[in-house]
Amino acid sequence: MKSNKANQPKLIVICGPTGVGKTSLALQLAKDLSAEIISADSRQIYKYMNIGTAKPTPEELARVPHHLIDIITPDQKFTAGEFVKRADSAVSKIKKNNHIPFVVGGTGFYIKSLLYGLCKIPPIPAAIRNELKKEVEEKGAQTLHHMLNEVDPIAAKKINPHDGNRIARALEVYRVTGSPISSYWQKDALEKRYHHFTIFLNDERSVLYEKINTRVDKMIRDGLFDEFKHLLEMGFTRNDPGMNSLGYKELFDHIDGIHDWHTTVELIKQYMRNYAKRQLTWFNKQEIHLTISPPQLTLFDIKNQIMEFLGHNEACCYS
């Protein structure tokens, strides 16, 4: 993989599964190191969805400048390509402020796309895209996932059977090009775009799962269902991309009478634990420079490693 570290902007990446404590660590480090945070969370981009996405509080947002939070409404689609464009712009702005760019989040595909670029897939006609979107709505994501498995088992294995957007994306590429999207993933030699120091925050599986359960309980106490009802009152529906988020999409089955409240809450916890497991699998295959767990957190040592990565002279200009 080609790279020229001397000419590449430097980034600090803080990643890990949902509920592990990325926001807390990033805030502490960013405040001490004069950094600004670029959110790499595919759900925190949506306005009005605060509780279910565990968005930083107004007080936390005030402590350190943040980017790519609350940028679109739940009825708008947002791609990895759009994330890269906006994140690139944020990096440039942060550098001009003589601050350190921190990329923080758990959406691994966003982070990888920013660091290494996206594979070059031919443009998809709007008619095909709309056709697949309609099929997802009418037949359901799982049915289309079975169709994807027949033509591209590699992609099907990597895409969640409930992720209608990514399933449709893979199928539309196959219908237009006749080649599976996985073939584009494999043949594109992605070039490193940033010189990065990646911190992976992890925890014992049982501890992480308990943290997720506790987080969901707090979301419920903080008014997740009221937030969901407010979104419906604003006119958003189950077909909107943002409303397909964990913690929200399960509530549709509750209001439709399919699941009682206790079952609904337990399903949210289960699906979030499942998501964390998939995140762990993803990040375990990525380039990581420092792996830590919350009991081992020593901010002094972490800051020293970041400063060493940045270089003494470069770090000084950020202070």
Q: What is the pLDDT of residues 41-64, one digit of tens each?
A: 999 999 999 999 999 999 999 999
The upper half-sphere exposure of residue 198, i.e. CA atoms within 13 Å in the direction of its Cβ, equals 21
Residue 190 — very low, low, confident or very high, per pLDDT cuts 50/70/90?
low
200 versus 188: which is more confidently predicted?
A: 200
Residue 316 confidence (pLDDT): 46
| pLDDT > 80? residue 97 | yes
* CA nearest to 171, candidates 134, 208, 215: 134
Residue 118 confidence (pLDDT): 85
- ∠ CA 27-34-107, nearest 5°, is 45
| pLDDT > 80? residue 277 | yes
Residue 6 — very low, low, confident or very high, per pLDDT cuts 50/70/90?
low
Mean predicted confidence (pLDDT) in 291-305: 87
| pLDDT > 70? residue 171 | yes
Q: What is the distance between the alpha carbons of residues 285 and 283, in angstroms, rounded to a whole number?
A: 5
Residue 314 confidence (pLDDT): 52
Residue 186 confidence (pLDDT): 72
**Which domains are present in the chain?**
5-117+193-318 (3.40.50.300), 126-187 (1.10.20.140)
Lowest pLDDT segment from 93-107, 152-166, 237-251: 152-166
Mean predicted confidence (pLDDT) in 267-272: 98
Give the chain's end-to-end CA distance (angstroms, integer). Answer: 33
| pLDDT > 70? residue 79 | yes
| pLDDT > 80? residue 251 | yes
CB 7 within 8 A of CB 192: no
Residue 2 confidence (pLDDT): 47
Task: Find tokens 């290494």 and name the residue.
Answer: 116
| pLDDT > 50? residue 1 | no
Residue 5 confidence (pLDDT): 58
Alpha-helix runs per DSSP H in the chain: 22-33, 58-63, 80-96, 108-116, 126-139, 141-151, 153-158, 164-177, 181-187, 205-221, 224-233, 249-255, 261-283, 299-310, 312-318
Residue 215 — very low, low, confident or very high, per pLDDT cuts 50/70/90?
very high
| pLDDT > 70? residue 227 | yes
Lowest pLDDT segment from 38-47, 83-92, 128-137, 247-256: 128-137
Cα 60 to Cα 42, 52, 55, distances in angstroms: 19, 17, 10
96 versus 184: which is more confidently predicted?
A: 96
